[in-house]
Every structure is written in structure tokens, then in C-alpha cells.
């Protein structure tokens, strides 16, 4: 039998987030990037301790991880990693991407998916120079967003760090985790903003109500 020397490098999207809670726009972003860049799968990585939200009240990491698992369960190309939840200390993206790279050697390439608003602040991230060197970025912009500042930062990162940065534009879905938390607290419905399994989970554990500690 003829042996093939062809070795296909897998291409994985990585969507990190606080996911407090995960909502349909997160899932739509993941699906759009998967399709646009023809990736093999998307790994959702809920932050254990989000480095940029030190003074925010955040739901317990095990709840956020479970909601992410429930939300992604029905898509065979969506996976969830507990690596940041299991790691001690703040969840710096550079540590996550180093770990993924080291575990996979040259078998996989990673594409870190990030909203344009967050990418504009990349120079405030821990060890961002190294991060830009070891990771491809996919910056998701919303139709109608102002690209001028973003394009300048993308060009700077490409030029100074040789970063591979892709831009993907998707339609606006005005869904936010902050709004969902506030709706639940006010007793309003969140069906159709988040997957039904996540709605049930929030009810079961009484998350986001003013009585939740």
C-alpha cells in the first residue's frame, strides 16, 4: 500500500471570553469565523479570572464553564476547554496560547478570535508582543463600525511583530451579556438571546437574580 507523506495541519479557532453568560452572538461569531476561514473547529475557553475585569462581580467559573458547554453541545465543531478555569491566577491569553501551542507542537495552528473593541486595546494586554508573535488573530468587526483606528492598530501589529491578523465582518447582533444579566434580574425573558439549555441552567441555579450572592 502506498503511504502518503501528506500531513495536514489542523486549524483551530479559539474564542475566549468571560461568557457571563454565553449568548447567541458569541455562537454566531464562532460559526461565522469557522465558515469564513474554513477552520476545523472552534475551542471556546471561558476565562477563570478575567484579567481586565478585576473590579467586576463575576459569576463562579464552574457555572460559566457549564453554560458554555451546554450552549455549544449541539455543534459537532464546537469544543470547550476548561484550561483557564483550571489554571490558578489571572487568565492571561498569552499563557493559554503558549500552552495550546506547546501541547500541539506543529500539528495545529490557532486563530484567536476577538471583537474589534477588545483588539483595539491589545497593547494593554500582558505580554502582548509575545502573544502577537505566537498567535494568529481574527478580529471580528460589526457592519457599520468605524474601521480607521482598528486598521491603524492592525497595521502596526503586523509591521512591528509580524502578526497574522485577519478581519471578518459580520452583521450586528445587539446582544450583550450585561443586558442579559440585567433582564434576568428584572424578571424579563431571555429566550432567543441565549440557547434554551442556558435559560434552564440560569433558572435552575437562580443566577443573575438580586438574591444570588
Positions in 129-188 near ligand NAP (CB under 6 A): 140, 173, 175-177
Positions in 89-128 near ligand NAP (CB under 6 A): 91-93, 114-118, 125-126
Q: Collect contacts of 189-196 with beta carbons under 8 A, ≥24 apart.
A: 192/24, 193/23, 193/24, 194/21, 194/22, 194/23, 194/24, 194/71, 195/22, 195/24, 195/27, 195/70, 195/71
The number of beta carbons lying within 10 Å of the beta carbon of residue 131 is 23
The 3-state DSSP class for residue 24 equals: helix
Residue among 9 and 117 whose Cβ is closer to ligand NAP: 117
Cell numbers placing 128: 502582548
Minimum CB separation of residue 23 from ligand NAP in Å reads 7
Nearest to 51 by CA among 125, 123, 114: 125
Among 12, 13, 16, 72, indicate the residue that binds ligand NAP (CB under 6 A): 16
**19 lies in the binding site for ligand NAP (CB under 6 A):** yes
Residue among 94 and 211 whose Cβ is closer to ligand NAP: 94
Stretch that binds ligand NAP, among 10-18, 31-39, 99-107, 152-160 (CB under 6 A): 10-18
| φ and ψ at residue 174, rounded to 5 degrees | -80, 65
Residue among 176 and 196 whose Cβ is closer to ligand NAP: 176
| Interior angle at CA 106, CA 100 and CA 108, nearest 5 | 55
**82 lies in the binding site for ligand NAP (CB under 6 A):** no
Per-residue binding letters, 48-77, with ligand NAP (x by CB under 6 A)? --xxx-------------------------
Stretch that binds ligand NAP, among 2-10, 18-26, 151-159, 196-204 (CB under 6 A): 18-26
Pairing of the two strands 41-46 and 78-80:
parallel
Residues at the site binding ligand NAP, with contacts judged by CB under 6 A: 16-19, 25-26, 29, 47, 50-52, 91-93, 114-118, 125-126, 140, 173, 175-177
Amino acid at each position: 500500500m502506498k503511504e502518503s507523506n501528506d500531513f495536514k495541519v489542523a486549524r483551530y479557532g479559539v474564542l475566549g471570553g468571560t461568557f457571563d453568560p454565553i449568548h447567541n452572538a458569541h455562537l454566531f461569531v464562532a460559526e461565522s469565523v469557522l465558515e469564513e476561514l474554513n477552520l476545523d473547529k472552534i475551542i471556546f475557553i471561558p476565562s477563570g479570572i478575567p484579567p481586565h475585569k478585576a473590579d467586576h462581580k463575576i459569576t463562579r467559573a464552574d457555572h460559566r464553564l457549564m453554560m458554555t458547554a451546554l450552549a455549544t453541545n449541539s455543534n459537532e465543531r464546537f469544543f470547550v476547554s476548561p484550561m483557564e478555569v483550571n489554571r490558578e491566577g489571572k487568565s492571561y491569553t498569552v499563557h493559554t496560547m503558549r500552552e495550546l501551542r506547546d501541547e500541539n507542537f506543529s500539528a495545529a495552528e490557532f486563530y484567536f478570535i476577538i471583537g474589534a473593541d477588545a483588539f483595539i486595546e491589545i497593547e494593554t494586554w500582558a505580554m502582548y508582543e509575545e502573544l502577537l508573535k505566537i498567535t494568529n488573530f481574527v478580529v471580528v468587526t460589526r457592519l457599520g463600525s468605524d474601521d480607521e483606528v482598528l486598521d491603524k492598530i492592525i497595521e502596526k501589529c503586523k509591521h512591528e511583530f509580524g502578526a497574522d491578523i485577519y478581519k471578518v465582518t459580520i452583521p450586528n447582533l445587539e446582544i450583550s451579556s450585561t443586558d442579559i444579566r440585567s433582564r434576568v434580574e428584572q424578571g424579563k425573558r431571555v429566550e432567543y438571546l441565549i440557547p434554551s439549555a442556558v435559560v434552564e441552567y440560569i433558572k435552575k441555579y437562580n443566577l443573575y437574580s438580586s438574591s444570588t450572592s
